[in-house]
Structure 1
Amino acid sequence: MDLIGVDIGGSHISAARVIFEGQVAFFDSFGEADVDTYGDKESIISAWAEVIRKAAEESTDYKVGIAMPGPYDYDNGISLIKDQGKMASLYQLSVKNLLAESLGLPSSHLAFTNDAEAFLVGESYAGAGKDFQNSIGITLGTGLGSAIKVHDVVKDAKLWTAPFRDGIAEDYLGTAWFIKYAFHEYGLEISGVKDLLASEIDLAVSKEIFETLGRALGEFLFPYLIRLHSEGVVLGGKISLAGAHYLPTTRAYLETMGYPVPINISVLGERAALIGACLPFI
């Protein structure tokens, strides 16, 4: 029985055959594609199924673990995503059954996991979180993903809507914050974090912006680290790739507050979710 790990986002899908050997995972037949999820249900399901079939190659006996953003009824594979534009045509439909039918598989051969949970599970199994019994997983990108691990239990923390400063956490931790802050404070028009690292950007300006983010991340994490007795943080998402520019500020803040813990950047990247999505079958 082959295992196919899948990570689905608002406009992207990646999939690979995942091979487990002890506490190590290997990948084969990795593939990815951009998918227009503003379309009808048939075109979305067809596009996802095509990528999954390519990862399965010639195999007809396989199970599919899928990491999917919420809100979702993960047990039944029913989409509860609405008012976001993307995946609107799948609202309240059993994506599990639709995909199973398209792939020619029993629905029992598909399992759905929250993407933040899958990320932390994967990193805890074979990546940057292996040494932590209790940890917090954070993905920083377009949005804020979060999960908590207490011993062997990993749950979606849903911290993106947590009250923070004069708004919610996602207002201060994500791409939208960078764009807004850079324009409001410096008149810079950027499309994302990568633009701040361009040679034409004043180093003092980019340094201040990154340090502001680093401080916010530290303030945000501190109460949850204390409450959950966390031993460390596993950080993923596109913004984690620029961690060298803001994590020193985060670590300094946590040290000042008397709770210095390791903050490990993902070593598996998007493949962490592929591992985590498959583990329900292990």
Structure 2
Amino acid sequence: MELIGVDIGGSHISAAKVKLEGRIASFDSFQEADVDTFGDKESIISAWAEVIKKAAGESTAYKVGIAMPGPYDYENGISLIKDQGKMASLFQLSVKDLLAESLGLPSSHLAFTNDAEAFLVGESYAGAGKDFQNSVGITLGTGLGSAIKVHEVVKDAKLWTAPFRDGIAEDYLGTAWFKKYALEQFGVEISGAKDLLSSDVDSGVSIKIFETFGRALGEFLFPYLIRLHAEGVVLGGKISLAGAHYLPTTGAYLETMGYPVPINISVLGERAALIGACLPFVESDVC
């Protein structure tokens, strides 16, 4: 029985055959596509199924592990996403049953996992989190994803709404913060963190913005690292790709606070969630 790992976001899907052996993961037949999830349920399910079928190729005996953002009834595969615009037509429907029917599979061959959990589980199994028994997983991008791992248990931490400074964590740790801070403090218009690496932006400005972000990340992480006795942090998402420019500041802050830990950038990228999504089908202890 082959495993197909799937990572579904608000506008994108990726899928691949996943082989797990000896805490090493390999991938084959990687597929991805942009999907308009503002449409009706039939068009969304059809688009997702098409990508999964391409990943499966000629195989007819396979199971599908799906990493999906919340809110979701993951056990039953029912969407609880209501007020985000995206996927609204699937609200309170069994995506599990709809996809299984479209794929011609029994619903027992599909499993759903929170995307933040899937990321940290995947990196813990075969990536940047291998050496940590207790860890915090953070994905930095348009939004803030988070998960915690304590020994074998990995859970979505839902820290994006955690109170932080004069707002919530996501106000300071995402693309929107970079855009707002660059414009308000320096009069620079950017679309995200990656623009700060362009020669069009003054390097002095970029350094100051990244240092400010790095400090905020350290302040945010510190209490959770202490509380969980975390041995390290696993960092993913698009903003992690610029980690070299802000993580020294984050590390310096944690050292000043007396709790320096390694912050490892994801080595698996989006493939981490594909691994984590498949692991519910693997019986052995994986973390």
- State TM-score, norm by structure 1: 1.00
Matched, 1:174 2:178: no
- Match runs of 1:99-178 below 5 Å: 99-178=99-178
Correspondence for 1:38? 38
Q: SS where residue 66 of structure 1 aligns?
A: strand
Q: CA deviation at 1:193?
A: 1.1
| Distance (Å, rounded) in 2 between the aligned partners of 1:211 and 1:79 | 39
Q: CA deviation at 1:187?
A: 1.1
User: 1:64-104 CA distances to partner (integer Å, 9 max, x unpaired)?
Assistant: 00000000000000111111111111111110000000000
**Could you tell me which amino acid in structure 2 is paired with residue 231 of structure 1?**
E
| Distance (Å, rounded) in 1 between the aligned partners of 2:107 and 2:210 | 45
Correspondence for 2:3? 3
| Distance (Å, rounded) in 2 between the aligned partners of 1:80 and 1:192 | 29
Correspondence for 1:92? 92
Q: CA deviation at 1:200?
A: 1.4
Q: CA deviation at 1:228?
A: 0.3
Q: SS where residue 26 of structure 1 aligns?
A: strand
**Could you tell me which amino acid in structure 1 is paired with residue 51 of structure 2?**
V
Q: SS where residue 273 of structure 1 aligns?
A: helix
Q: CA deviation at 1:247?
A: 0.2
User: 1:155-212 CA distances to partner (integer Å, 9 max, x unpaired)?
Assistant: 0000000000000000000001001111111111111111111101110100000000
User: 1:103-162 CA distances to partner (integer Å, 9 max, x unpaired)?
Assistant: 000000000000000000000000000000000000000000000000000000000000
Correspondence for 2:223? 223
User: 1:226-259 CA distances to partner (integer Å, 9 max, x unpaired)?
Assistant: 0000000000000000000000000000000000
Q: SS where residue 65 of structure 1 aligns?
A: strand
Matched, 1:257 2:257: yes
RMSD: 0.4
Q: SS where residue 93 of structure 1 aligns?
A: coil
Correspondence for 2:19? 19
| Distance (Å, rounded) in 2 between the aligned partners of 1:260 and 1:193 | 25
Superposition misfits of 4+ residues, deviation over 4 angstroms: none
Give percent identity, aligned residues only. 88
**Could you tell me which amino acid in structure 1 is paired with residue 169 of structure 2?**
A
Q: Could you tell which deviates more after superposition, 82-91 or 124-133?
A: 82-91
* Unaligned ranges ≥5, structure 1: none
Q: SS where residue 112 of structure 2 aligns?
A: strand
| Distance (Å, rounded) in 2 between the aligned partners of 1:253 and 1:23 | 33
Q: SS where residue 219 of structure 1 aligns?
A: helix
| Distance (Å, rounded) in 1 between the aligned partners of 2:39 and 2:212 | 38
Q: CA deviation at 1:20?
A: 1.1
Correspondence for 2:191? 191
| Distance (Å, rounded) in 1 between the aligned partners of 2:174 and 2:181 | 11
* Unaligned ranges ≥5, structure 2: 283-287
**Could you tell me which amino acid in structure 2 is paired with residue 152 of structure 1?**
E
